[in-house]
Structure 1
Amino acid sequence: MHKVTDLKVLYFGTPVVLISSRNADGTANLAPMSSAWWLGQNCMLGLGNSGHTTANLLRDGGCVLNLVPSDLVEAVDRLAMTTGAQDVPENKAAQGYRYEPDKFGLARLTPQPSELVGAPRVAECPVQLECEVVTAHPFGTRATAFEVAVRRAHVEESLLIPGTQYVDPVGWDPLIMKFCEFFGGGGYVHPSRLAEGWNMPHQLTPAT
């Protein structure tokens, strides 16, 4: 029997993306997000208006979508509850966010020069998409929906079906976020600091 309920979170499961963008001073910002979907050669990104990445995309117009495999979950989790904004927005500070200028260093990831945009790629991510902002739309009162066009795709050769330009869906194991928790290979893989910060009522144990 179905129950009518006022769901607090509508976050049923999407791939985790590390968005690298360029700060106003030319340094790199790196932020995990999982409100992204693709159609053709374009992608829609949903980002909160108080996020530093949102400001960077509106100003600079370029970014890299680094698609995260499930075995990089610890790097992603290290970035949780951090922001590249020196003045931490009040709502984020209340949740426990803190300013972190060196996101790559904190995550223990390696910046790799891009070819078409100013933001660097994440060397450890097997799929890296250099993108240009096409347009930005208000989404509700607290978010922005960005349409970005993929200008160049870099894919780890072992993920490609030999002799083709297609990714092998069997070999690609993306990190998935469901209701602020991390999943990969169909199972729960790592505790989430984000879930703690958002006071999610979860008591999960990673599979062994």
Structure 2
Amino acid sequence: MHVVPGLKVLYFGTPVVLVSTTNPDGSANLAPMSSAWWLGSSAMLGLGDAGQTSANLRRHGECVLNLPSSAMAAVVDRIALTTGRAEVSGYKRAQGYRYVADKFALAGLTRQSSDLVTPPRVAQCPIQLECRVTAANPFGAPGVTATAFEVEVLRTHVDEDLVIPGTTHVDPLRWDPLIMKFTEFFGGGVNVHPSRLAEGWQMPALRRHGEVPAE
């Protein structure tokens, strides 16, 4: 039997991406997001308009999509409720967001120079995609508060242990991406780490992290 629960979150399961962009002063911003999908050599990114990443993409038009493995869940969670924009909106502040100028340092991640774009790669991420923005369209209804950025993947960097020898393909049995499922971190079908984002969104704690509900 189906029910109509009126879901407020529709994140059924998508890969986490650490998006690195260039701030107006030339420094690097790093933002976790999970509204991304790929087709051919292009990707579509869904980002809120209030964030620094959206502003950087509109102004500079370049980014790196860094894909963390499930083993990096704790690292990603360190910057889950942070923003690179100094003026934190009341809405975000109520969710627990705070301004952090250097999110690479907060996460303990290492900058790695890119080949074709200005924003740095995240050295610890097994897969890194250098990208250029090709289109930006308003997204969301009834009130438009987000943008769908279409980006072209210019170059891919993949940990050699993930590449099937003698091919240009990633071994899906060895690649275990960090997945965001209803604001919770998953890898290999298992909840791998508590999520600050879930707390900020006031998601139900019942059955989270292997908990068993009381009878």
The answer to whether the superposition gives a TM-score over 0.5 is yes
Q: Retained in 2: the 8 A contact 1:22–1:60?
A: yes
Q: Aligned Cα RMSD in Å?
A: 1.0
Amino acid at match of 1:146: F
- SS of residue in 1 equivalent to 2:30: strand
Amino acid at match of 1:205: H
- SS of residue in 1 equivalent to 2:78: helix
> What residue in structure 1 maps to residue 180 of structure 2?
177
- SS of residue in 2 equivalent to 1:79: coil
* Structure 1 unaligned blocks of 5 or more: none
Aligned residues: 207
* Structure 2 unaligned blocks of 5 or more: none
Question: How does 1:138-177 map onto structure 2 within 5 Å?
Answer: 138-140=138-140, 141-177=144-180
Matched, 1:192 2:213: no
- SS of residue in 2 equivalent to 1:205: helix
> What residue in structure 2 maps to residue 48 of structure 1?
48
- SS of residue in 2 equivalent to 1:58: helix
Give, in whole Å, the separation in 2 of the partners of 1:72 and 1:175: 7
Give, in whole Å, the separation in 1 of the partners of 2:152 and 2:67: 15
> What residue in structure 2 maps to residue 17 of structure 1?
17
Give, in whole Å, the separation in 2 of the partners of 1:149 and 1:124: 23
Q: Retained in 2: the 8 A contact 1:190–1:206?
A: no
Can you list the C-alpha shifts for 1:59-78, whole angstroms capped at 9, x where unaligned?
A: 00000000110001011000
Describe the shift of the 1:190–1:206 C-alpha distance in structure 2 as closer, same or farther (beyond 3 A): farther
Give, in whole Å, the separation in 2 of the partners of 1:105 and 1:156: 22
Q: Retained in 2: the 8 A contact 1:189–1:206?
A: no
Can you list the C-alpha shifts for 1:142-190, whole angstroms capped at 9, x where unaligned?
A: 1100000000101111100000100000000000000000000110100
Q: Retained in 2: the 8 A contact 1:20–1:30?
A: yes
Sequence identity percentage: 66
Shift of 1:206: 5.3
- SS of residue in 2 equivalent to 1:30: strand
- SS of residue in 1 equivalent to 2:114: coil
